[in-house]
Structure 1
Amino acid sequence: MEQLVQVIYICLSDGSDVNQTPLLWVIEGQSANMSCSHTKDATYFQMYWYQQLPGQNMKLIVFTTTTPPHKYEQGFDKEKFPAKKKDAQTGSLTVNNSKPEDSGLYFCAVSKHSDAAD
């Protein structure tokens, strides 16, 4: 029997200049596609995707820029969580073959590139 998988998607930034889809429901086995976009300038081309499952801490899934390959964290792979980043202001993350255990919060965050030395 098919189950609905709830994927709650939240997009984070330091202001109200990031657009998001706040709630997403998919049928088990389907793909959940989440988009993130912002109106900051093109120096904010770094995008981070996080997952927070119920009762767990937030985990980084993948760090993306406009120049692949994207950097996946241990425990996450590009077949299950393909990410796209075609330009500085937009990106997407997909959860393929969704399962009930994928239900949780998914966060997008953007960051400004800096060449400043530490």
Structure 2
Amino acid sequence: MVTRADAELQCHCQGVTQHPEINWSLASKSAEMNCSHNKDASHTQMYWYRQRPGETMTLVVYTVFGGQPDYGKLPQTKYSAVKESSESGALTVKDLQLEDAGVYFCAVSKHSDVRGKRN
């Protein structure tokens, strides 16, 4: 399995860092990717995406510091995400298979509560 942080994307996502940049792992093993940012502590939300060759990006998991990961339609038995602090998190892909190959990357955002805020 090959995973890598997309260098062009990182240029546009200032303050967000992924490591390792390239991750080679054997079939049936696990691969862990880490993400951190140096933005302010209000950036508590982290999104992990996967892009397979020739396909569009797919959201793998959404995490928020202090909350439970949301894997959407993807199996939690395949992925494990942790958000240790508002500044860092990790994604693990378990039982690697050929179809897990692709570009994985994270994005962070602030929590936005628009309730009661009208023009």
Shorter-chain-normalised TM-score: which range? 0.7 to 0.9
Unaligned runs of 5+ in 2: none
The answer (yes or no) to whether the contact 2:27–2:97 under 8 Å persists in 1 is: yes
Q: 1:36-92 CA deviation, whole Å, 9 max, x = no partner?
A: 000001100000011111111101111100123211121x12221100002100000
Local SS of the residue matching 2:62: strand
1:14 deviation in Å? 5.2
1:24 matched to 2:20? The reply is no
Local SS of the residue matching 1:101: helix
Local SS of the residue matching 2:99: helix
**Corresponding residue of 1:78:** 76
Task: Check 1:34–1:95 CA distance in 2 against 1; reply closer, same or farther (3 A cut).
Answer: same
Amino acid at match of 2:108: V
The answer (yes or no) to whether the contact 1:13–1:109 under 8 Å persists in 2 is: no
Aligned counterparts of 2:12 and 2:44: Cα–Cα separation in 1: 15
The answer (yes or no) to whether the contact 1:12–1:109 under 8 Å persists in 2 is: no
**Corresponding residue of 2:3:** 7
Q: Percent identity?
A: 40
Picking from 91, 97, 100, the partner of 1:99 is: 97
**Corresponding residue of 1:50:** 49
**Corresponding residue of 1:61:** 60
Unaligned runs of 5+ in 1: none
Q: Give TM-score, length-normalised by structure 1.
A: 0.86
RMSD: 1.8
Aligned counterparts of 2:69 and 2:10: Cα–Cα separation in 1: 19
Please identify which structure carries the higher helix content: 2
